[in-house]
């Protein structure tokens, strides 16, 4: 299952209709657009009527002056139509682009607001395709599909009215051709909707695959998995290709059927029109005007297949977009949440019978965790892999909310604090450091845009990340996508500097030194210990050397705190603690031995691929 939490299918077109709030600011432009489009259509409809007058008047009466006047009139109408079409296309594309970007801004802002749990479950490719491909479909619908639906329907009605006015028996015959058109449209609408949704979902899956493969290119190459990935891609691409081809076939068949109707009607009109002229029921000019007008119906009818297809795609695109926009963020400010200022924070952090589980998991990851970290204290969390250490830490900045119990800061439930304030006060660095394709400075000041150069220098010194000053453009050097132009240790130290920048009230560090060599680790620990003196800190650690940074240690086993005490107390009295530390140390030693890059993480800059910001 690639798209979780999909709500029941809404009534047809309901979600597209809901997007009208984005159209509302442009009703003036759209009104003018319709006026201009109708005027252009009126100009083109007038031409056959002039032709009738030319044939039945100046040509029949051999009147060159009349011919000249009508010719000039036809020319002026042609020119007016050309100008009107230019204005229409210009207004329609600028309006549709403005609407598209307003929707895209809202999708982006909403994705940022949505809780981490949402992003855990949704594939990024699906979100990407909704914010790009689906939005383009909506734009095409607003700029072409909807406009042509209105203009072509009006043209059809106007032409049929004129035809009935010119010669009603044949006019009614043309009007009756709407019946087969209606039947074909209904059948097409039903089958196209499913195909279009399937194709848009498959596009999302393929986008995810491409995104994953480019992000994981190093892993794929180093494991020699290129053929397998290429095969997976080929299977998905073939699936999408087949769905798209099926859709194309459906459009082709329907277009042919649509095409057949006006052409058959035209043949009948020509066959029946000649006797009508012979018996004096129609003039030659009227028959020519009739046929010319009828030819003008071919495009509106032919385009009907495309318009319906575009409308259907817009309906499914709107459904897919609203699935995202309708997901409410679950981690938000409570109604009476209070602001939090760094200066007012003492740093008394408590977990009180905290239970938490990820949605979809059979049992909670954390069970009734109770832990008190005193102001200014550094508490290390030690536990076997998968015991819930990262999960415990991610509850502090409210990346997830507890299922039961509470976490308090200075006695106040963190859910009663304003989120923005809480996240400003809590400095975080996770084991997998995330950097963005921005300058080093922008990456560092992500949470504290007002930090000055001195604060940045101090933070870099704590993280032993002075290597940034040796980069080609120093702090202004742009690190490549996800910081991949830096080594793992460099990325980790930048993430640590970002966390300690601005002296946060609570510091949450998830194994922040795991990618460092022993020498750099010792330097970072020495500098970090000075920062930790003044701040409350929760520190996931694996190595005994890093545990030494902590005042006390909590042992987490299978989501429960089983022991709390100083490192030496636990070493002396808790066999499980000794076992966890020696197991992680053994794993760590072998990982370091097998890591050719370790020496390269000490601080020299790997500037390849770096560009100036």
Ligand X SMILES: Nc1ncnc2c1ncn2[C@@H]1O[C@H](COP(=O)(O)OP(=O)(O)OP(=O)(O)O)[C@@H](O)[C@H]1O
Q: Which residues bind ligand X (CB under 6 A)?
A: 120, 358, 361, 365, 383, 385-391
Angle of helix 27-54 versus helix 64-113 axis, rounded to 10: 160
Q: Is 106 exposed, middle or buried (0-12, 13-18, 19+ CB in 10 A)?
A: middle
**Sign (positive/negative) of CA torsion 26, 27, 30, 36?**
negative
- Sheet architecture: strand order including 552-557: 426-429, 506-510, 536-540, 378-383, 552-557, 560-565
Minimum separation from the CB atom of position 433 to ligand X (A): 14
Rg (CA), the chain: 35
291 or 547: CB nearest ligand X? 547
Structure-block tokens of residue 7: 């709500």
What are the φ/ψ torsions at residue 349 (nearest 5 degrees)? -105, 125
479 or 540: CB nearest ligand X? 540
Minimum separation from the CB atom of position 579 to ligand X (A): 15
Q: How many residues does this entry show for the chain?
A: 613
Minimum separation from the CB atom of position 111 to ligand X (A): 17
Minimum separation from the CB atom of position 359 to ligand X (A): 8
Minimum separation from the CB atom of position 424 to ligand X (A): 24
336 or 363: CB nearest ligand X? 363
485 or 584: CB nearest ligand X? 584
Structure-block tokens of residue 334: 């409570």
What are the φ/ψ torsions at residue 428 (nearest 5 degrees)? -130, 140
Minimum separation from the CB atom of position 540 to ligand X (A): 7
Structure-block tokens of residue 442: 């922008």
527 or 563: CB nearest ligand X? 563
Integer Cα distance of 527 and 464 in angstroms: 8
Going from the C-alpha of 331 to that of each of 112, 221, 279, 366, the distances in angstroms are: 12, 39, 81, 19
Integer Cα distance of 529 and 531 in angstroms: 5
**Sign (positive/negative) of CA torsion 382, 386, 390, 396?**
negative
Side-chain-side CA neighbours of residue 457 (13 Å): 4
Integer Cα distance of 536 and 505 in angstroms: 6
366 or 463: CB nearest ligand X? 366
339 or 386: CB nearest ligand X? 386
Integer Cα distance of 329 and 114 in angstroms: 4
Integer Cα distance of 378 and 539 in angstroms: 7
Output DSSP code: residue 355. E
Minimum separation from the CB atom of position 263 to ligand X (A): 60
Minimum separation from the CB atom of position 423 to ligand X (A): 19
Integer Cα distance of 48 and 302 in angstroms: 20
Integer Cα distance of 341 and 421 in angstroms: 7
122 or 290: CB nearest ligand X? 122
Q: How many C-beta neighbours within 10 Å does residue 300 have?
A: 21
How many helices and strands in the chain, by DSSP H and E? 24, 12
366 or 426: CB nearest ligand X? 366
Minimum separation from the CB atom of position 481 to ligand X (A): 23
Structure-block tokens of residue 12: 């047809």
Q: How many C-beta neighbours within 10 Å does residue 237 have?
A: 14
Minimum separation from the CB atom of position 27 to ligand X (A): 44
143 or 387: CB nearest ligand X? 387
36 or 395: CB nearest ligand X? 395
243 or 391: CB nearest ligand X? 391
Minimum separation from the CB atom of position 348 to ligand X (A): 24
Minimum separation from the CB atom of position 240 to ligand X (A): 28
**Which positions ≥6 away from 105 have C-beta within 8 Å?**
none
169: Cα separation from own chain's centroid: 55
DSSP character string of 499-526: HHTT--SEEEEESTTTTS-HHHHHHHHH
248 or 386: CB nearest ligand X? 386
């Amino acid at each position: 299952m690639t798209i979780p939490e999909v709500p029941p299918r809404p009534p047809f077109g309901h979600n597209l209709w809901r997007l009208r709030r984005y159209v509302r600011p442009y009703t003036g432009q759209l009104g003018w657009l319709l006026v201009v489009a109708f005027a252009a259509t009126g100009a083109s409809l007038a031409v056959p009527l002039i032709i009738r007058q030319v044939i039945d008047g100046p040509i029949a009466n051999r009147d060159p002056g009349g011919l000249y006047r009508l010719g000039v009139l036809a020319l002026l109408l042609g020119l007016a139509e050309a100008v009107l079409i230019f204005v229409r296309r210009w207004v329609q594309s600028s309006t549709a682009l403005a609407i598209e970007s307003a929707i895209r801004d809202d999708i982006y802002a909403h994705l940022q607001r949505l809780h981490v749990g949402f992003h855990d479950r949704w594939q990024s490719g699906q979100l990407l395709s909704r914010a790009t491909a689906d939005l383009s479909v909506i734009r095409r619908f607003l700029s072409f599909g909807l406009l042509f639906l209105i203009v072509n329907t009006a043209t059809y009605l106007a032409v049929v009215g004129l035809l009935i006015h010119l010669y009603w028996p044949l006019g009614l015959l043309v009007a009756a051709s709407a019946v087969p058109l209606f039947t074909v449209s209904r059948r097409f609408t039903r089958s196209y909707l499913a195909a279009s949704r399937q194709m848009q979902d498959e596009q999302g899956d393929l986008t995810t695959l491409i995104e994953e493969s480019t992000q994981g290119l190093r892993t794929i190459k180093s494991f020699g998995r290129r053929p397998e990935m290429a095969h997976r891609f080929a299977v998905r691409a073939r699936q999408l290709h087949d769905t798209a081809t099926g859709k194309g076939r459906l459009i082709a068949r329907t277009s042919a059927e649509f095409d057949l109707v006006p052409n058959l009607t035209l043949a009948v009109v020509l066959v029946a029109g000649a006797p009508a002229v012979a018996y004096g029921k129609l003039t030659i000019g009227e028959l020519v005007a009739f046929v010319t007008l009828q030819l003008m119906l071919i495009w509106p009818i032919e385009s009907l297949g495309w318009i319906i297809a575009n409308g259907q795609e817009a309906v499914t695109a709107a459904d897919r977009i609203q699935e995202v926009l309708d997901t409410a963020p679950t981690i938000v400010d409570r109604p009476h949440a209070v602001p939090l200022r760094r200066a007012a924070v003492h740093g008394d952090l408590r977990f009180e019978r905290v239970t938490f589980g990820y949605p979809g998991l059979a049992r909670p990851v954390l069970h009734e965790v109770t832990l008190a970290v005193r102001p200014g204290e550094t508490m290390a969390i030690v536990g076997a892999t998968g015991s819930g250490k990262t999960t415990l830490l991610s509850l502090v900045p409210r990346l997830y909310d507890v299922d039961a119990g509470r976490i308090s800061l200075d006695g106040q439930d963190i859910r009663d604090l304003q989120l923005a304030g809480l996240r400003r006060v809590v400095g975080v660095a996770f084991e997998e450091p995330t950097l963005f394709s921005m300058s080093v400075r922008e990456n560092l000041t992500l949470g504290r845009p007002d930090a000055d150069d001195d604060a940045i220098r101090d933070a870099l010194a704590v993280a032993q990340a002075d290597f940034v000053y040796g980069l080609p453009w120093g702090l202004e050097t742009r690190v490549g996508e996800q910081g991949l132009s830096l080594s793992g240790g460099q990325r980790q130290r930048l993430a640590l500097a970002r966390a300690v920048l601005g002296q946060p009230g609570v510091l949450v560090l998830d194994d922040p030194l795991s990618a460092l060599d022993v020498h750099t680790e010792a330097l970072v620990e020495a500098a970090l210990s000075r920062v930790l003196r003044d701040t409350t800190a929760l520190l996931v650690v694996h190595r005994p050397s890093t545990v030494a940074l902590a005042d006390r240690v909590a042992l987490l086993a299978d989501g429960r705190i089983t022991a709390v005490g100083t490192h030496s107390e636990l070493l002396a009295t808790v066999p499980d603690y000794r076992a966890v530390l020696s197991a992680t140390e053994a794993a760590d030693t072998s990982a370091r031995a097998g890591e050719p890059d370790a020496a390269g993480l000490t601080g020299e800059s790997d500037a390849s691929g770096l560009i100036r910001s």
